[in-house]
Amino acid sequence: MSDPTDIVSCADLAIGHGRKVIMDRLSFALPAGKILAIVGPSGCGKSTLMRALGGLDAPLGGSARLMGVDLATADEPARQDILRRSGFLFQGAALFSSLTLRENIEMPMREFLRCPPKEMRQLAEYKLALVGLADAMDKLPSEISGGMAKRAGIARAMALDPRVIFLDEPSAGLDPMSSGRLDELILRLREAFGTTVVLVSHEIPSILRTADLCIYLDPETGTMGASGPPKSFLQAGQPAKVHAFFTQARID
C-alpha cells in the first residue's frame, strides 16, 4: 500500500508501445513537494514512463497512482478531477502558434474554470509574471526565444494551480544561461507553492541542481538500474553504467 503522502507512486509497473514492453518491474514513490528526475540513455522510455505516471497512457502491467488514484482503473469523473490538478509541459513547449502567450495560458482556464473573462485574464497575466514574462504576454510564440517559450509552457502547466507538474525535457536545446534560469524557476515554484515536479531530462547539471530523487532506466535490463539522490550517483560504489552516465565517463 502506498503512503498517503506520496503524490506519485508505482508498483511493478510495465510500460511500452502497443504490446511491446520497454520497461517493467518499476516500483518507486515520490512524496509531496519533491522533484523527481527520470534519466537514462535515449530511447529507454523516459517520456513513456512520465506519460504513464501522469495518467496520459495506460500501463502494460502493474499500477501507477497519481494523488492516490490509479487513473487506469478510475472512473471518468475521478480521472478528470486528478488530471485537472496536474500540469504538463511537453517537448518543445507545444504552445498554440496562433495565440498570444496570455491566450495560451487562458486556454485551460476557459475549459475548467467558471470565472469572468476579466478574472481569467488577470490570472493568466499573474502566471506569466511568475515566470518572468510580464512584458511578453501579448507576443506570439514565434516572436520569443526558446527559453521564453519553455517558461511560457511552464506558466500554462501552472494555470490551474496543480499539485504536480510533469516536465518533458524542459532544458533541451537551451544555452547554459537559459537552462540555469529555468532550473531556478522550477525550484522557485516548488518553494512558493509546494508543487511536486516530475521531469524527464538528460541534462546532468540541471538534474544535479534541481532533483531530490533520481531514477535511472537501464535499456539493457529493461528496468530501473538505480534510484536515489542524483549527487549520490557521482560517488563510487554505484553501478558502473549509472556512474558513467552522470560523470560522462566511458565504459570499456
Question: Nine-digit cell at 197?
Answer: 515536479
User: Whole-number mean pLDDT of the chain?
Assistant: 90
Q: Across 32-133, where does the E strand assignment appear?
A: 35-39, 61-66, 86-89
Domains, the chain, ordered by start: 1-85+163-252 (3.40.50.300), 97-161 (no CATH)
Q: Is this model's pTM higher than 0.85 or not?
A: yes
- What is the per-residue pLDDT across 171-209, written as a single tens digit (0 to 9) for each? 887 888 888 888 999 999 999 999 999 999 988 999 999
Rounded alpha-carbon distances, angstroms, from residue 236 to 198, 219, 231, 233, 241: 26, 22, 11, 8, 12
Binning pLDDT at 50, 70 and 90, where does residue 1 land? very low
Percent with pLDDT over 90 in the chain? 69
Q: How many CA within 13 A on the CB side of residue 151?
A: 26
Among 103, 147, 154, 155, CA closest to 128:
155
Question: Would you tell me the crossing angle of helices 101-112 and 117-130 to the nearest 10 degrees?
Answer: 130
- What is the per-residue pLDDT across 88-108, written as a single tens digit (0 to 9) for each? 998 777 889 999 999 999 999
Asked whether residue 4 carries a pLDDT value surpassing 70, the answer given is no
Residue given cell 544555452 in the structure block: 175
